[in-house]
């Protein structure tokens, strides 16, 4: 065991030394660009730099590409029909703050950070990171599209009719778009070589289930004031990551 740990540490040092310079440069540019695009606040840019750096160091350029894809998906969904959302009470805040960024991306960053020190476990851990990113994309896209369309919305617990945008509310179009967003993240993870096609499908499915779990938490704990939106998002990404990691351990 000590020999394995020592050899793993040496591999980790080699990986870090080769990735740290480009990782810092690329993720810093990404954070500044996201701020310039008003996708994040200053605190959101700082938090985004931290989590993107951890993901880049642990998963390489492919991991960063998936994070970038998640950012584009969520940014486009957020801006789609934004004026209509504002008319129905949508918060006019400009960009996600640091806590919101961490709530959505910390789980994936934590898994990738473990990969830095245990690179031999990469293939077993990466489905968890991809699932967490898939959940973050699916949750945001489903909510934003659902609020923009404002179709029939039902509470996921009890299925009573509610207004679009209410905590725990789901719609057919929003759920479908969430599924497509999770699938897109899984596909991108496969294209970039983070996971094979089987685990891309499993990770995307775990992300979609995590999105539904998010709605359950929203309909129960959040509506009763036990959790805030950031707490719900954090627990949902952790749930998706853990589900994928359990399946990875069980099936592998």
Count Cβ atoms within 10 A of the Cβ of residue 64 and give its class: 0-12 exposed, 13-18 middle, 19 or more buried.
buried
Find, among 121, 92, 127, the residue nearest to 108 by Cα: 127
Tokens, residue 202: 């499993």
Residue 210 · residue 179 · CB < 8 Å: no
Tokens, residue 149: 């369309």
Query: H/E element holding 147?
Result: helix 122-149
Distance CA 54, CA 59 (A): 8
DSSP states of 72-94: HHHHHHHHTTHHHHHHTT-----
DSSP states of 113-139: HHHHH-GGGHHHHHHHHHHHHHHHHHH
- The pLDDT score that the predictor gives to residue 158 is 86
Distance CA 36, CA 77 (A): 18
Residue 203 · residue 131 · CB < 8 Å: yes
Residue 77 · residue 145 · CB < 8 Å: yes
Q: Side by side, which strands form the sheet with 161-162?
A: 161-162, 153-155, 169-171
Neighbours of 67 (CB within 10 A): 27
What does each of the 252 residues of the chain score in pLDDT, given as a tens digit?
A: 444 444 444 445 545 556 788 999 999 999 999 999 888 999 999 999 999 999 999 999 999 999 999 999 999 998 887 777 777 566 656 689 999 999 999 999 999 999 999 999 999 999 999 999 999 999 999 999 988 887 788 989 988 888 877 888 899 999 999 999 999 999 999 999 999 999 999 999 999 999 999 999 999 999 999 999 999 999 999 999 999 999 999 987
Neighbours of 85 (CB within 10 A): 20
Distance CA 15, CA 119 (A): 9
- The pLDDT score that the predictor gives to residue 84 is 75
Tell me the whole-structure pTM to 2 decimals: 0.90
């Amino acid at each position: 065991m000590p020999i394995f740990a020592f050899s793993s540490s040496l591999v980790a040092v080699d990986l870090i030394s080769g990735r740290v310079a480009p990782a810092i440069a690329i993720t810093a540019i990404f954070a500044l660009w996201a701020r310039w695009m008003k996708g994040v606040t200053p605190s959101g840019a700082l938090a985004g730099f931290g989590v993107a750096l951890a993901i880049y160091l642990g998963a390489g350029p492919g991991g960063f590409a998936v994070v970038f894809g998640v950012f584009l998906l969520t940014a486009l969904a957020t801006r789609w029909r934004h004026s209509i959302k504002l008319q129905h009470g949508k918060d006019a805040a400009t960009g996600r703050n640091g806590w919101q960024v961490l709530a959505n991306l910390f789980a994936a960053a934590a898994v990738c950070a473990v990969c830095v020190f245990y690179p031999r476990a990469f293939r077993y851990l990466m489905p968890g990171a991809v699932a967490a990113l898939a959940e973050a994309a699916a949750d945001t896209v489903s909510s934003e599209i659902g609020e923009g369309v404002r179709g029939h919305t039902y509470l996921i617990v009890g299925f009573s009719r509610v207004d679009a945008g209410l905590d725990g509310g789901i719609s057919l179009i929003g759920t479908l778009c969430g599924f497509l967003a999770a699938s897109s993240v899984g596909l991108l993870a496969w294209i970039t070589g983070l996971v094979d096609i089987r685990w891309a499908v499993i990770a995307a499915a775990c992300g979609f289930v995590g999105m539904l779990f998010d709605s359950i938490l929203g309909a129960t704990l959040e509506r009763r004031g036990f959790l805030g939106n950031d707490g719900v998002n954090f627990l949902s990404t952790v749930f998706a990551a853990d589900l994928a990691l359990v399946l990875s351990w069980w099936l592998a």
